[in-house]
Every structure is written in structure tokens, then in C-alpha cells.
Amino acid sequence: MQPTPASATLAASTDAGAALRIETQASLKPYNSFGLPALARTLVRIGSDADVRRLLAHPQLGLQPKFVLGGGSNLVLTHDLHEVVLKVEVMGRRLVAELDDAFIIEFGAGETWHEAVDWTLAQGWPGLENLALIPGTVGAAPVQNIGAYGLELKDRFESLDAVDLVTGRSVTLDAHACHFGYRDSVFKQPAADGGLAGKSLITRVRLRLPKPWIPVLGYLDLQKKMVDAANHHPDARQIFDWVCAIRRAKLPDPAVIGNAGSFFKNPVVSEAQCMDIIARDPHVVHYPMPDGQFKLAAGWLIDACGWKGKTIGGAGVYERQALVLVNRGGATGGEVVTLARAIQESVYGRFGIRLEPEPVLL
């Protein structure tokens, strides 16, 4: 295929930009796990900090608005993107240091998260096994502060490198600077609130895997696995396998049926709110938290409202897990958002709780 005049112009416009891999009118369907149709007017593949600086020096693209794209596993695209899409493809895996109390491991932000977890176990460095099979890239993990089965990324986080999308300056941020919260970080918080949303591109992430290794087995599904297997002292690889089996039983493979994993955050409510809901719905799934609040299972709330298996257009609620919205084939981002909003209104009407989406809706 011959390059479009626009792409030819962009590639040839400057020596600084000549090394950039630039595409125009690029389909984003392969780059979002929902498989939703959308185009990027301009897509630039970022393989290093230097690529970001080359982009910022580009006479046509440098000052244009930008959107950072990792694995696209936490994204609902409802329209074409006119921003310059930065496809993060920084690779690399290495042991930075072995300390008395931890292994420090570094990954390029473009590495696949699940493959990174598997690799650490293969090297004899346990600690990430509860986070197996979470879709997306390593660079997206701290943005969302991913978590599953009793563990969050912040529990294993050491530091990260990022490039400022205005100045091109590389910075290193520790856990305190990342402001981790429940499925939240400084990278999701707007600049007006002191956040870095849209202002930085993560290039490398370092994780601290503690020594000695202590398994995290408090989650109910893992306890059931231990009982079923009559194995109350599993090693890290066994926990990894159990987590993969649990996730595969509940969640569809994005390669088979498009989805973004858990679509809504589990809501956190006060003890009074929780007791009020229990009084009306004694079977509501809830978990006490250290601060006295309670986390409710969003999937249970959605299922209780009768949404499991329902469909709007090409978007549907997964039959095995009501927390997951799926692309049944040919869905648009608008249909996914319409379904999500209908679920939110339904849950609010019955329980007085407003569910918050996990994915970014664009």
C-alpha cells in the first residue's frame, strides 16, 4: 500500500521525526480489547524515551494533543481519535538488584503484563502470582493500580520512569508520588487537581518482590482451591495456576470475545449503608475493609437487577459474570456506553449506589 500524502509529509518533514514510526488513519480495532471500531488520525509507535522527545520536536505533531495507548484493555472507544495516539512499545525485562529483603525487577512499559508475571516465576522471583492473567501492558498497570485476589500493584511497586509530554524530561516516581488508590493513581487524576492525566508517558516500571516470599491466600476463591486440592501450602506457581483457572472460568478471553475485564469498580460504602442494604437484601456479597467501610460486589448488584446475559445492540452482559460487558459481534462504543448507563441507573434505582466504570470512556 502506498503511503497517504499526509503520512509521507509527516515522515519527511524533519530529521528529528524521520526515525519516528508514524501512521495515519490507523485502525485502533486491534489495539483495544473490546474490539471496537475507531481510527487514529495519527498514530506514533513509541519504543524509547528518545522517541517521545523526537515527537515533541516534530514541527507538525509536537504541539498537538496526545493520547497514550498501552494494551487498550481498559478502554472504550466511542469515536475516532483526533489526538496523536502514542502506542507504547517500550520493551525489556531485567533484574535490577537482589537485596536482602527483595528482588527489584524492571520491565519496559510495552511488555504484556501476564507474560511479565509468568516470566518472574520462571526466574524464581515470586510475588506477582495473584495478578496473573490481568490483560494489558506493564505500563498501564500503575495507571490503574491493578489488583486481584487480595493483592494490588502498589503492594509490589518500587518506582517508574516517565517522560513529560510537554518538556520531554524523563522523571522517576516512587509509590508516594504515584498517589495510588483503589483502581486509581496520579496518572488518572486531572492536572487541575495536581494529577498527571494526559501529561506523562510511562516507559519503565520497577517492582519489588519481597524476600522471603509469603503467599497471599485470603481470597475466598483461593481458599476453595486449597480445600479442593487438599493443598494448604501451595507454592507461587500453583497459586498462579489457580488464579488463571479462576479468571478463565469467570472472564472471557478478549481474543475470543471482546471485553475490558471487570467493567465497574466494586463500590465502597459506609457501615450504615451496608447494613441498610443487608436489611433489604440479606444475600448481598460484601467485604469488610480495615477502615470500617465495606466493599460490595458490583457483579452481585448487577446480577440482582437481572442484567446477566442481557444485550443492547452488539453489546451484552457476560452470562458467567455480570461484572463483565462484552462485544457480541459488531458492537460500537456507543452501544457499550448505552448498556453501561442502563445498568448504572438500574443499580442506583434498587440499591441507591452509583456504579463507577473502570475503563476509560472516550
Cα–Cα dist 18/154, whole Å: 38
Q: How many CB atoms lie within 10 A of CB 147?
A: 18
- Catalytic residue ranges: 183, 262, 358
> What is the enclosing helix (H) or strand (E) of 106?
strand 102-108
- Cell 437487577, located at residue: 305
Cell of 337: 456506553
Local structure of residue 189 (DSSP, 8 states): S
Residues with Cβ within 8 Å of 195's Cβ and at least 6 positions away in sequence, in order, are 179, 186, 187, 188, 189
Collapse the DSSP code of 209 into the 3-class scheme (helix H, G, I; strand E, B; otherwise coil) and give the result.
strand
From first CA to last CA, the distance across the chain in angstroms is: 30
Q: What is the DSSP string of 278-328?
A: HHH-TT--EEE-TTS-EEE-HHHHHHHTT-TT-EETTEEE-SS-TTEEEE-
